[in-house]
Structure 1
Amino acid sequence: MCQGLELLPVTCLERVKELKARLGHFLLKQELNLMGLSNKSGKLKAEDALMWNTSFQNLLSHKDGLCIFQAFLISEHSEENIAFYLACEDYKNTKTSSKLCSKAKIIYEEFIDNDAPREVNLDHETKCITKKNMVQPTASCFELAQSKIYTLMEKDCYPRFLKSTLYMELSRQTKP
């Protein structure tokens, strides 16, 4: 398993992996049913899916919304953005300084370093600031980078998600 992926919730990761292989040309209704998110299954409430279009934060704070957004990003080959964001959220909740250092190193090498396998799109200045923060990692050392990626997803990925077949079909199925 890739470093960083283990930071995602296991059930969501399983759903995302399942979708990754299938999202392409299969019928969307079948995909949603496989995830257990079809309105017919009763697991997803109409108001939940419809609330996701009111704010990006509403989408991310809902378990199923987050999983569907992750699947969308995988289909667009930009899943590193949400993986980085979630890794930073997990990192901020780390209690001991020894774990902070090891987690910071993993996140930096996975997402920010120039040769990172899942490098996120950050400007040079943000990368430099984050690299300086790595000298003595604190709970806030990724704050600027995380904020930039959040804004990128909110302004770029989220509007595309709301226009995607995936979301349109889901919201159509869940309308009261």
Structure 2
Amino acid sequence: MSDAFENIAGAFQPGPTPGPGRTPGPIGMTILLICWVGLGLMPLVLSVSDLRLAAGEIGTAGTLTVVSCESLGKGRYDCKGSFVPDGGGAVVAVAASPDSTAGDVKRAQLTPEGDRAVPSGTPGLLAALTMPFLGVGVLAFLPYVFLYVFKARRGRHAAVAFGALLTAVSLAGVVVGLVAAYS
């Protein structure tokens, strides 16, 4: 290993163990770890339907034309649009993504409920992947925390490197997803 990596990994080594009563006991630590895992898995689980919709697995493919966007104040917008299914059929009035602009025309997927249309194709998929990437970032340093909690000395350097790599991938995924959502 290089000296630079040793310095980075050394910065994440735990300091002296706090005195009694300053750290959670085994039950408290278990509760904290369960909450951490739940917080990391929640974006992954909750985004499955959005991913299926953006990938075209569910819903109806078509074209969305944003008709109007009304400012709600504080940077929030309510956008309305019309959706034309690819196979023909009646035009459907839908809620459009709040990051749209009146006059935008884009490929979209109509939700099974028929109340909103979301961008499809690569931009829609990248935007839908934003939350799963955030969940990966939350879970990135969990292996290191498990090693620390169980007082394992071996593998901490690798866990720090793995956590840093996952955090970088997560950050890149979130940024790409946000750029795709707002462009």
Same fold flag (TM > 0.5): no
TM-score (normalizing by structure 1): 0.30
TM-score (normalizing by structure 2): 0.29
More strand by share: 2
Greater Rg by CA: 2
More helix by share: 1
